[in-house]
Structure formats: C-alpha cells, structure tokens
Amino acid sequence: SGPDPEAVKSVAKVLRNAERPVIYAGQGVHYAKAWDELRELAERLQIPVTTSLQGKSAFPENHPLSLGSGGRSIPRAVHEFLQDADVIFGIGCSFAATGFGVAMPKGKTIIHATLDPADVNKDVASAHALIGDARLTLDALLCELDGASASRDGVTDRIATIKEEWLEQWKPKLTDDSSPLSPYRVIWDLLHTVDVDNTIITHDAGSPRDQLSPFWESRVPLSYIGWGKTTQLGTGLGYAMGAKLARPDQLCINVWGDAAIGFTGMDFETAVRERIPILSILLNNFSMAIELPIMQAATEKYRSTDISGNYADMATAFGGYGERVTDAAEIVPAIKRGIAQTEAGNPALLEFITQKEIEISKF
C-alpha cells in the first residue's frame, strides 16, 4: 500500500524547502525494488544519499550524490553530512538504535518512510511519517513534486572533496606493503581487481564488517549483502553460497576472519560437495584482534583471543582450492587465481595473513 496523500504533500514541501537534506535509505528500498525512484528523487532535488548497512547498494556509490555507507564504521562524508543536515529523510529503514548501525544525530527534522508503523518513533522521533511501500512512497513524492527541482550549489563538490581527503587519510593502510598484510590493503586490492558490477559480496561479523563496508564501492542493486544489527560469526559463508545459487553467473564473495571460520568453516566442504564455486576471502591474524582492547585480562590469563590454524590447507583437504598469501605483491595475483578457480567450478579460499588491526573509520 501507499502512504497517506496529505502526508506526502507535507513531506514534499519539507524536502523542497530543506537547506541541507540527506536521504538515508534502508533495506526496504531493496524489497520494493525502488532503486530507480530513489535515484530520481535524489537527482531531482540534489539530495546526498547514504544507506544503512542492509540498504547498501540501493544507491550507486560512485554517483556524485553518494556519501557512501556503513554501519559501525562509516566514511567521513556520511558523518559530516548527517551532522550538518537540517532534514534527514529515512526511506525503507527502521531507524533502530544499535551499536552496529549509523547513529542519527539529535536536533534534526526526521522524515520516516517505512512499511511498518511500529517503527515510527520507536528509537528516533519523527516529525513526519509516511507509512507504505518504499517504491509507492517515492512514486507519490515524485508525482507531488510534479517536475519541481532544486539546485544545491557545491554539494557534489563538497562530497568529492571530503571523500578524497578521507581516502588520503586512509591511503597508508589501503596501500601498505608490509607483512603481515594490512587487511585494508587486501580489501582495497580486491575492490580494484574484481568486476565490481558483476560481483556480489558479503562481510562477516566483527572486523571484516567494519573494515569492508566503508571502503567497498557498491554500484548496482543487490551487489552487497549487508547485515549486522547482531553479530553471528560465520554467517557470511552461507550468504555467499546462497547468492551463488541465485546468481550463478556472478562472482560471489564472502569476507571473514579467523574467528568466524572457527564457527562455520566446516561448511566450506558443503560448497565443494554441492559444487557452489564461491570465492572466500579469509583475513587471518591469529586472534580476535578487534576484541583485544576489551579482553585484556582474558587474553593475559587464558589467551582467550588466540586462534590458530592453516585454513588454506583445510580448503584443499575438502577438495576445493586453498592458498595462503603473506606477501603484498601476491595479493592481486592470488585473487586472480582464486577467480579463475571459481570460473572453473571450484570453490576457492584465499587465506591472507594479516596484522592485528583494530582501527576502523569511526567518528
């Protein structure tokens, strides 16, 4: 069903008159397949767009109006534009408060468009609510705007400048040649090696989620499986296999860590047995590095964060392709070998030996 027409009129007026609006798109945009309508609204009113982790890929992140996206970790542009916004338009999202999502700043005019009325004013107070399907809601707004447009001078230039400065700040980690490897270097090289538009990728809980999501540039809908108001280690492997079954012609990747593979790693054998040729990117730092600051006593007394194993050998023993990578110069060649294996019908696991990295893009 669509939203109340009178509420649509009010919201259209607020969006037209806003000085610094931001669109926050959630998973409901995917469910409604409202990608074109979202883009049309953003372009017509020149509104910057970010998404929830679950909504990532609903808006092309190489678009001049894209701020990028994330959850616990986010690009700087997301933080700065949300903080500076006068109006935040949430479409297809719950605005649920979680430590693994994007926090909404106080003192903003919030427009909440959701299919579930129970979401409204649950965690974030809304000045305006639109209850209905995301696509029907966006269609109604576009009709109400009736060709009206807005000019926000300098907004795309500001987005580009902030993105450039943020990436420059992270460049030492994204291009680090040292060994053990920087997990950010592995992710950066992966992004620039695969055919992004023909790839579906998912993260895992913990470090892989926080390291991958801000830097991975999703460009086409449903190319990023984002999840994580909770943190079930090992979930990403099954998501990648499911994606490959649904989209057999696309490269399907899961990025996980040594803790996650300890939970569901044996299911890599399922991918081999059922001939589901995924590419599995394992970031192995032999510890739950992200937990080190809060598990100091447990680590000192019981070595609770220590993890070990040769998972490339495990993948090979299962009948798949396994390769351990320790040299930065071999990251891209190894990725290409892994892709070639998937194209030949073999699941591939690339085990990158990485630093105990705990820094994330958080503000």
Q: Report the DSSP beta bridge partners of residue 202.
A: 225, 254
Mean of per-residue pLDDT scores for the chain: 96
Structure tokens at 272: 């081999």
Mean pLDDT of 79-86: 98
Of the CATH numbers 3.40.50.300, 3.40.50.920, 3.40.47.10, 3.40.50.1220, which one belongs to the domain with range 5-157? 3.40.50.1220
**pLDDT of 288:** 80
CB count within 10 Å of CB 253 equals 28
Q: What percent of the chain has pLDDT over 70?
A: 100
Of the CATH numbers 1.10.3660.10, 3.40.50.970, 3.40.50.300, 1.10.132.10, which one belongs to the domain with range 175-353? 3.40.50.970
**58 pLDDT more than 80:** yes
Q: Are 218 and 224 in contact (CB under 8 A)?
A: yes
pLDDT band with cut points at 50, 70 and 90 for residue 292: confident
Domain limits, the chain: 5-157, 175-353
From CA 60, how far away is CA 329, in angstroms rounded? 30
**pLDDT of 153:** 84
* pTM assigned to the model: 0.95
5-157 and 175-353: same fold? Answer: yes
From CA 340, how far away is CA 76, in angstroms rounded? 35
Structure tokens at 335: 């990725």
**pLDDT of 328:** 99
